[in-house]
Amino acid sequence: MKYDVIGLGNAIVDVLSQADDAFLIQEGLTKGSMALIDAGQATALYAKMGPGKEVSGGSVANSCAGVASLGGKAAYVGRVASDQLGEVFAHDIRAAGVTFAARPSGHADPPTARCLILITPDAQRTMSTYLGACVELTPDDIDPAEFAAAEVTYLEGYLWDPPKAKDAMLKAAQAAKVAGRRVALTLSDPFCVDRHRASFFELIDAHVDLLFANEEEAKSLTQSTNFEDAARLLQGRAKVVVITRSAQGSVILSGGEQIQVPAAPVAKVVDTTGAGDLFAAGYLFGYAHGRPATECARVGALAAAEVIGHFGARPEVPLTTLL
């Protein structure tokens, strides 16, 4: 197979900065969540933020970088603008070993998307995303042959936000399914789930074999107030449902069973940005290679542990060294 995993997502450059809780309150930001902001809000928030570090991000892009770091064959599809941050994004994902057939927009406005990430002393990240060039993702960006050539197509829930991306996502999922491949989806964010609940269920029921959610996203999708109800309602909704629970590890729902896998130990949690993305990377790497679910989750836990030990959402050491 040409690829183990091909990802489709919002191509974003992260701007990481440290902030205290008072700043989040002052700016009306909800700790730990992702909020969409427009260009004006992005400019205003950036002006008030502390000094930043720019690093390539994007949830599924981070996962693809993780798959490559684990020694897997990964490809990524996402839209950037013809600007400096677009060049940074394209450079970094390729340098991470991921195939990225960039089709920059050909213009600098709207610019490459950025996610302003405020990291509080408790290592939580609070994200404000300006989608920029991501709104230009359309079904034309999907080459069905590429999706047919990957064991797993991995889709980002965040893609429901830009207007035409949903059609691109459906085209990708259909291309994968027609070729007999598997489709995975991450719910991305509880508020994103809340904005698009019905169509999430539609996509899951029609195409998704493997569903990733964290506890909050699982509760949001199922409109449950506790984990047990959410798990019960999601059991069987896709062939495999994996719910991540931070330090409590992950729970795999499959074939009517519920399997718990512990988190991997971390010396010091510095920045939780990318924890879910890298868990998914490890899981997908195993899944693409037909490994048992518990092994997939263990690789995911190791990859997540590496990324939360430093600033930024992509691995700093080759993840093959952790296996």
Residue ranges of E strands in the chain: 3-8, 12-18, 34-36, 53-56, 74-77, 99-100, 113-119, 125-130, 150-156, 182-186, 210-214, 240-244, 250-254, 257-261
Nearer to a copy of itself, 233 or 322 (CB): 322
Nearer to a copy of itself, 54 or 295 (CB): 54
Nearer to a copy of itself, 92 or 136 (CB): 92
- In the bound complex, what is the minimum distance in angstroms from residue 314's beta carbon to a copy of itself? 6
Nearer to a copy of itself, 15 or 203 (CB): 15
Separation of alpha carbons 280 and 301, rounded Å: 9
182 in Cβ contact with 210 (< 8 Å): yes
Separation of alpha carbons 137 and 29, rounded Å: 27
- In the bound complex, what is the minimum distance in angstroms from residue 91's beta carbon to a copy of itself? 6
Nearer to a copy of itself, 205 or 316 (CB): 316
Which chain residues interact with a copy of itself by CB under 8 A? 17-18, 46-47, 49-56, 65, 83-85, 88, 91-93, 95-96, 111, 312, 314, 316
Separation of alpha carbons 276 and 212, rounded Å: 9
Would you state the structure tokens that stand for residue 218, as one six-digit string? 């699982």
Nearer to a copy of itself, 18 or 138 (CB): 18
Please give the order of strands across the beta sheet that includes 150-156: 99-100, 74-77, 3-8, 150-156, 182-186, 210-214, 240-244, 250-254, 257-261
- In the bound complex, what is the minimum distance in angstroms from residue 219's beta carbon to a copy of itself? 34
- In the bound complex, what is the minimum distance in angstroms from residue 15's beta carbon to a copy of itself? 8
- In the bound complex, what is the minimum distance in angstroms from residue 250's beta carbon to a copy of itself? 27
Separation of alpha carbons 254 and 251, rounded Å: 10
- In the bound complex, what is the minimum distance in angstroms from residue 283's beta carbon to a copy of itself? 22
